[in-house]
């Protein structure tokens, strides 16, 4: 079980698909789970999940600190939602990569998920990028000027990295892009242990 986290716009999705191909495993985007939860709940049940959609004027007027608090609130809800997903994959022995903005580092170091011991089956890595590149990435992906959003994303990403380091979870810069896959794989290798190998039928990096 690999949790791949980081703020919006750092390149997680692109990296996650390359990793999934390399290891020959499945992938789940946490954004998809967020969409399902938003559709299946009400604002009264989980206001954190509905805030950005229901209050566009209020969102536009939010300060940077308020945006960060809102992102943190969403992350807390998604952490609870991801726990049974992780437990299921540990129980069934089915490898998967979970990728998304709302993965908190503290999730990766839990000794138990529900009633299922982690038993060393959960790893995590967090990606980061500088503010200017995040703005460029968001512009390419969604269009428009993204400077304010990039600032919030960068600040959130810095918090994620500090939390990851506090829990002993590796963090990796996405640039230079040409070597990010190799660097992520290297960061996942436990010190003094054998090199991580790809899944069956997957071509290894040259």
Residue 125 forms beta bridges with which residues?
A: 4
Within a domain: 56: yes
Composition of the chain by helix, strand, coil, percent to 5: 55, 15, 30
Within a domain: 194: no
Q: Is the pTM of this model over 0.85?
A: yes
Residue 204: band (very low, low, confident or very high) from pLDDT cuts 50, 70, 90: very low
**How confident is the model over 67-123, as pLDDT tens digits?**
888 888 999 999 999 999 999 999 999 999 999 999 999 999 999 999 999 999 999
Strand-by-strand arrangement of the 26-29 sheet: 26-29, 96-100, 2-5, 123-128, 171-173
- Report the number of distinct structural domains present in the chain: 1
Within a domain: 182: yes
**How confident is the model over 109-148, as pLDDT tens digits?**
999 999 999 999 999 999 999 999 999 999 998 888 888 8
**How confident is the model over 165-196, as pLDDT tens digits?**
999 999 999 999 999 999 999 999 864 333 44
The CATH number covering residue 131 comes to: 3.40.50.300
Give the domain extent around 152: 2-188
Residue 56: band (very low, low, confident or very high) from pLDDT cuts 50, 70, 90: low
Within a domain: 180: yes
**Coil, helix or strand for 96?**
strand
Within a domain: 193: no
The Cα–Cα gap between 29 and 35 comes to: 10
**Coil, helix or strand for 21?**
helix
Within a domain: 143: yes
The Cα–Cα gap between 84 and 18 comes to: 25
């Amino acid at each position: 079980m690999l949790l791949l986290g980081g703020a919006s716009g750092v390149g997680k999705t692109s990296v996650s698909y390359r990793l999934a191909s390399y290891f020959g495993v499945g992938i789940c985007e946490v954004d998809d789970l967020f969409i399902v939860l938003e559709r299946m709940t009400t604002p009264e049940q989980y206001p954190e999940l509905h805030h950005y959609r229901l209050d566009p004027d209020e969102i536009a007027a939010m300060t940077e600190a308020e945006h960060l608090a809102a992102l943190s609130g969403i992350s807390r809800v998604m952490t609870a939602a991801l726990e049974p997903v992780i437990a299921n994959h540990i129980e069934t022995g089915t490898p998967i990569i979970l990728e998304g903005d709302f993965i908190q580092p503290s999730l990766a170091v839990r000794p138990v998920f529900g009633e299922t011991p982690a038993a060393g089956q959960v790893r995590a890595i967090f990606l980061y990028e500088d503010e200017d590149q995040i703005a460029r990435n968001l512009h390419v992906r969604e269009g428009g000027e993204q400077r304010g959003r990039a600032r919030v994303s960068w600040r959130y990403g810095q918090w994620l990295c500090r939390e990851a380091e506090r829990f002993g979870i590796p963090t990796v810069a996405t640039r230079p892009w040409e070597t990010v896959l190799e660097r992520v794989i290297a960061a996942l290798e436990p010190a003094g242990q054998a090199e991580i190998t790809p899944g069956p039928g997957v071509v290894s990096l040259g």
